[in-house]
Amino acid sequence: MKMTTCAGGRPFRSSPRVLPRVVFVGLASLTLIVSLAAVPASKPEDIGLSSERLQRIGQLIERYIADKQISGAVTVVTRRGRIAHFEATGQMDAESRMPMRKDGIFRMASMSKPVTGVAILMLMEEGKLRLTDPVSRFIPEFKDTKVAMVRATASGPGAGAAASAAGQQRAPDIYTVPATREITIRDLMTHTSGLESGGAGTREGARIAPRETTQSLATYIPKLGAVPLDFQPGTAWRYSALAGIEVLGRIVEVASGLTFDQFLRQRLFDPLGMKDTGFFPAAASASRVVTLYGKTPHGLDRLDTPSWLATRTLFSGGGGLWSTAEDYTQFAQMLVNGGELNGKRLLSPRTIDLMASNHVGDLYAESTSTGSRRGMGFGLTVEVVLDPVAANRRTSAGSFGWDGAFGTHFWVDRKEQLAGVLLIQQATNPQLNRDFENAIMQAVVE
């Protein structure tokens, strides 16, 4: 089989490496299910799922396609260590009417974050870092961080009128005060650091430390140490879309002695059989890259890959990975299994428990930046369901996962020994994720 490579020699296959395996998935029909590399397929009834009810997943996706909210999707469900559902629905490119492929390559965006979280936890287990370590232990430039404060601006009868007449909205003036403490690794993992999370300090960040995709983590991340924080560390939950988790990627490099892409390849992707995962797809794999779309009042419009993702040197643990449903399912199944897959252990079960615990009290549930999050908490790079009733979720208490900006979604339910992976390439209403979870949970019959 011909192999091609991506970042750091990461292979992307030009054809599937496993043969289809036929299992019953419906009352009157047979469907091909491909056994994933380390997760075998199974008849749904053998693992407590209903074949007939699982068909509602495809029906759900078809409704979203008919409504022109998405062009297509790949969906996977595992339970008790086996694949019960693996389907490609719709089109990966609407203009050419190319059918969605099960081995389609997706921009994972923020679903890169839990991968980075696992890398940090592996180094924690090895004693190379602590969650309570200040970031400055690994990146000295973060030693004396400041916090941005909005200055009260002069107001008067003429001030607002002058601004309106000029047709301008003046950004608030800021000044800085010392941080009450240094930011820690845990702060970065839980989005409680205040680093580039959309506040007044973030605006300064664009000037002080512009994110240039020709840089490396080693050259870019130290500059972030001079960026004012948006709030005092640990006092709020506010999402750091890129910078916070990208700092964790640099910490992995310093603590391990490997570049971030090398660490992920050697320590996670190769052991888990994630052969199609990397920081950019090879040219020879272009035919498998799923087209990115944006929803408009007139339907779906084709979009270019955004500039922040178009890099081959700045390995973003916050949003830079490209992957497939097969590969990410290996990662999710490892989490379901308590840190192990196919005889290869990455983490201990106790560390997975730690990852999936609420580390932020009520900060996530009460954050005004996320809307209503009643019944929810936030763990180490993952969202955690604390109370399914209060959160209006169909998943079990203790289940956890995360989403990506281009519509990707996964969650892990260790109580039910279940994982769900949904890959699309359209930023869409989060209701699709809830509908997907419902379609899976209603198929659990024992």
Q: For residue 429, what pLDDT is reported?
A: 75
pTM for the structure as a whole: 0.88
Mean pLDDT of 78-92: 98
Mean pLDDT of 200-228: 96
> Do residues 97 and 90 lie in contact, with contact meaning Cβ atoms separated by under 8 Å?
no
Which residue type does 380 have?
Answer: L
Q: Is the pLDDT of residue 394 over 60?
A: yes
Q: How is residue 6 written in tokens?
A: 């991506």
How far is residue 396 from each of residues 328, 354, 385, 419, measured CA to CA in Å?
Answer: 21, 17, 7, 12
Mean pLDDT of 320-349: 98
First-to-last C-alpha distance (Å) of the chain = 41
SS3 of residue 332 by DSSP: helix
Q: How is residue 195 written in tokens?
A: 């680093």
Q: For residue 290, what pLDDT is reported?
A: 98
Mean pLDDT of 390-405: 97
Q: For residue 283, what pLDDT is reported?
A: 82
Q: Which fold has domain 3-121+259-441?
A: Beta-lactamase (3.40.710)
Q: Is the pLDDT of residue 25 over 50?
A: no
Mean pLDDT computed over every residue of the chain: 89
Q: How is residue 33 written in tokens?
A: 């299910």
Question: What are the extents of the domains in the chain?
Answer: 3-121+259-441, 122-152+170-256
pLDDT tens digit sequence for 182-204: 999 999 999 999 999 999 999 99
Name the residue among 337, 324, 316 with its Cα closest to residue 274.
324
Q: For residue 171, what pLDDT is reported?
A: 60
Mean pLDDT of 323-350: 98
Phi, psi of 431 (to 5 degrees): -60, -30
What would the 3-class secondary structure string for 276-319 be? CCECCCCHHHHHHECCEEEEECCEEEEECCCCCCCCCCCCCCCC
423 bridge partner residues = 74
> Do residues 214 and 313 lie in contact, with contact meaning Cβ atoms separated by under 8 Å?
yes
Residue 31: band (very low, low, confident or very high) from pLDDT cuts 50, 70, 90: very low
How far is residue 63 CA from its own chain's centroid? Answer: 25
Q: For residue 117, what pLDDT is reported?
A: 98
Residue 141: band (very low, low, confident or very high) from pLDDT cuts 50, 70, 90: very high
What would the 3-class secondary structure string for 233-256 be? CCCCCCCCCCHHHHHHHHHHHHHH
